[in-house]
Structures are given as C-alpha cells and as structure tokens.
C-alpha cells in the first residue's frame, strides 16, 4: 500500500501527529512495539503554562496551552470518552517573596489571564506563606488518551504493534519502503531512541512518581516542590523527580524519600499510604527546546521529539507546525529546528548517509 506518512512511535508525539493527520485527511501508518515503560505511559499529564520557580510564563506557554486545550477537548469528542479536563491548580508559596512576586504579576498582562489574584482557605494544608491558583491548568489522562487513540488507529488499520527495524527500511527516489508498503514521509517519534537522528544531543532525564492515598489533599492539583494530582478514591499522583545521571531502569528509594520529603511541606505525611512508584525517561535537549526538522541528508525523513516534561503542553501546536512545514513548506521556528545542531553532524556521518541514499 501507499501512504503519505510512516510514523515510528506511538507515545504522545506520534499519537498527536496521527490525530492531526486525520484532520489533514492524509494517510499514515504508525508502528510501535508497545514497551511497558515509556515516558509517555508514566507521564502524569499535568498541563499549565507557568514555570513556578521564577513565576514566569514558559516559552510560548500561553499560546501552547490555548491550542492544546482545544485539541484535547476535540479528542474527548472524537473518542466519546473524557481523556482531558481543565482542573484547578493551587500553588502553595514557599516564601513571602514568592507570594509578592505572584500577586504583583496577577494584575498585569499577560499574567492577569493566568494567575488568580485571590487566596483560598486550605485548612488541611501547610500554608504558612499563602497560596494562589492558576486560571489555566488541566490534566490529560495520558494512558487513556494513548489507549483510545490506539483503538481508533486499529479500527482504521493505521497502526501496527511491532518493533521498528531500521535495517528493513529502504530508501528509493526520496521515498521509503517498509514491509511492502511505500511512504512519502518518515517521522521518527521514538523518545530516547533516535535511530537515523542519533547525532542530535538528546539527554534522557529520569523521572519518578508516586501514587499515594490521602484524605487530607483537596480534589484539585496542589504544588509546592512537588505536585499532587487527584486520581480517584482518595488516590493522587505525586511527582516528579528529575535525574539525568541515573540511567538505571528501576525505581529508587532515594527518589521516593525525596518526593515524600517535599510532600511533607504540603501535608503531614504520617497518615498517607504509598501505593505505587513508577519511572520513565523523558527525552530532553541541551537547550530545553524540542527537535523538529528534516534529516540533513535523507530527504523526507523528519524527527518530532525532545519534548521533555512539557510534552502534553507543547506537542499539539508543534505537531501542527511540523506538518505545515512538510505539507505546505511553512518555516519551522529556528528555536526548535534541528538545523541549530547541524555542527553535530560529522563528516563521517555525512559520508555514511550519502552512501545510504545513493
């Protein structure tokens, strides 16, 4: 069969691309080997436009948030299942300086549409320096989102659950051949596995999360050093750690202790129960900007990766940007275009890939 796109990887990035391609009325096939542990499958799904450490907007945070809200709400309709909802997030301040910074910004643009200028009563929480709430915060049930999208792709025969084998891919006249199928474009969305884009400086950043049971936490998200996000039956996700040095595929007592120590700044933890602990490796980059763009040698081969901890927030709009570039020739932002790392592509690699395409 002939397709417009071959997408490798059905994490958040590959899934969003597939759903966007349905809107563009383009044919595609997604290949994914269904690893049990991936950064997407363990992601908490928290989405908001702020960086709390300095109380500033993330890069393009407001724009990303508004677009992603529309996109994920359309997924609720598409799946006839609620995978996404807006959910209040309350920030507990760590100092009077943080409190003053928040409320001084809450009355000026663009923060006046994002930061609430009022505090609320939170009797069960440790709230020495007060609190503020976000006017823009939400939660994507990532596991459910991936599962429902996979079911949809399966129903339209646009998904194959199997490992992608690079050696089985052939390249003839700027098109790709894989398992008796022909593709105009290839997009690699494999998280920490880069394949033909392995010259890019991707940094696996390990994150661990806890699932706890507590009757003291509110039924919305709270944040102070860690976030606590409600699930159901008094259960919450607590996270997350960041560790780019730990490459081991296991959970650690060190991370559990760190998460509980930070949680103890929100509620007394004597009465909580830890139910589960998980980990994943986020694909992060040197400059904390994602990887979008075309391979330096292999034409029509693209990468869509490196979203880090902001994948839920950034992926829909960046996916649209990539597809608009591929299909309509629109420019990719220099901040995310992989051309910024062209000096990492060595002469030896150029020689290898030139041989491949000729």
Q: What is the pLDDT of residue 193?
A: 87
Q: pLDDT (tens digit, 9 = 90+) per residue, 123-149?
A: 899 999 999 999 999 999 999 999 999
Instruction: Give the whole-angstrom CA distance, residue 329 versus residue 188.
Output: 19
Instruction: Give the whole-angstrom CA distance, residue 202 versus residue 344.
Output: 12
Torsion of CA 284, 4, 319, 340, to 10 degrees: 50
Q: What is the pLDDT of residue 40?
A: 86
Instruction: Give the whole-angstrom CA distance, residue 303 versus residue 306.
Output: 9
* Strand, helix or coil for residue 194: coil
What CATH number labels 203-285? 3.30.9.10
Instruction: Give the whole-angstrom CA distance, residue 230 versus residue 139.
Output: 10
State how far Cα 180 lies from the chain centre. 32
What CATH number labels 2-42+143-201+287-357? 3.50.50.60
Mean pLDDT of the chain: 95
Instruction: Give the whole-angstrom CA distance, residue 297 versus residue 295.
Output: 6
For residue 352, pLDDT over 90 is answered with: no
Q: pLDDT (tens digit, 9 = 90+) per residue, 49-94?
A: 999 988 999 999 999 999 999 999 999 999 999 999 999 999 999 9
**Domain residues of the chain, as ranges?**
2-42+143-201+287-357, 203-285
Q: pLDDT (tens digit, 9 = 90+) per residue, 202-247?
A: 999 999 999 999 999 999 999 999 999 999 999 999 999 999 999 9
């Amino acid at each position: 069969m002939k397709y417009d796109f071959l997408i490798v990887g059905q994490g958040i990035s590959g899934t969003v691309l597939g759903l966007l391609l349905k809107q563009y009325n383009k044919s595609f096939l997604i290949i994914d080997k269904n690893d049990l542990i991936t950064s997407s499958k363990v992601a908490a799904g928290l989405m908001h436009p702020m960086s709390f450490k300095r109380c500033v907007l993330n890069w393009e945070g407001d724009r990303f948030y508004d677009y992603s809200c529309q996109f994920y709400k359309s997924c609720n309709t598409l799946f006839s299942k609620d995978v996404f909802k807006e959910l209040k997030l309350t920030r507990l301040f760590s100092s009077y300086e943080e409190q003053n910074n928040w409320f001084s910004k809450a009355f000026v643009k663009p923060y006046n549409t994002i930061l609430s200028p009022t505090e609320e009563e939170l009797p069960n929480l440790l709230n020495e320096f007060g609190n503020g709430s976000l006017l823009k915060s939400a939660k994507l049930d990532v596991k459910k989102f991936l599962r429902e999208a996979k079911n949809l792709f399966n129903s339209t025969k646009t998904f194959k659950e199997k490992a992608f084998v690079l050696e089985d891919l052939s390249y003839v006249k700027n098109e790709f051949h894989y398992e008796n199928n022909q593709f105009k474009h290839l997009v690699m969305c494999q998280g920490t596995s880069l394949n033909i884009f392995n010259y890019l400086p991707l940094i696996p950043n390990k994150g661990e999360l806890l699932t706890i049971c507590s009757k003291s936490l509110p039924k919305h998200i709270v944040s102070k050093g860690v976030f606590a996000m409600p699930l159901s039956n008094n259960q919450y996700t607590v996270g997350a750690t960041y560790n780019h040095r730990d490459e081991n595929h296991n959970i650690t007592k060190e991370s559990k202790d760190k998460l509980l120590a930070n949680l103890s700044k929100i509620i007394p933890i004597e009465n909580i129960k830890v139910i589960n602990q998980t980990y994943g490796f986020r694909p992060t980059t040197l400059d904390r900007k994602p990887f979008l763009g075309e391979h330096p040698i292999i034409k029509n081969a693209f990468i869509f990766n490196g979203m880090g901890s902001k994948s839920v927030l950034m992926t829909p709009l960046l996916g649209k940007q990539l597809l608009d570039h591929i299909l309509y020739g629109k420019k990719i932002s220099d901040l995310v275009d992989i051309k910024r790392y062209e000096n990492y592509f060595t002469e030896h690699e150029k020689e290898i890939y030139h041989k491949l395409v000729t």
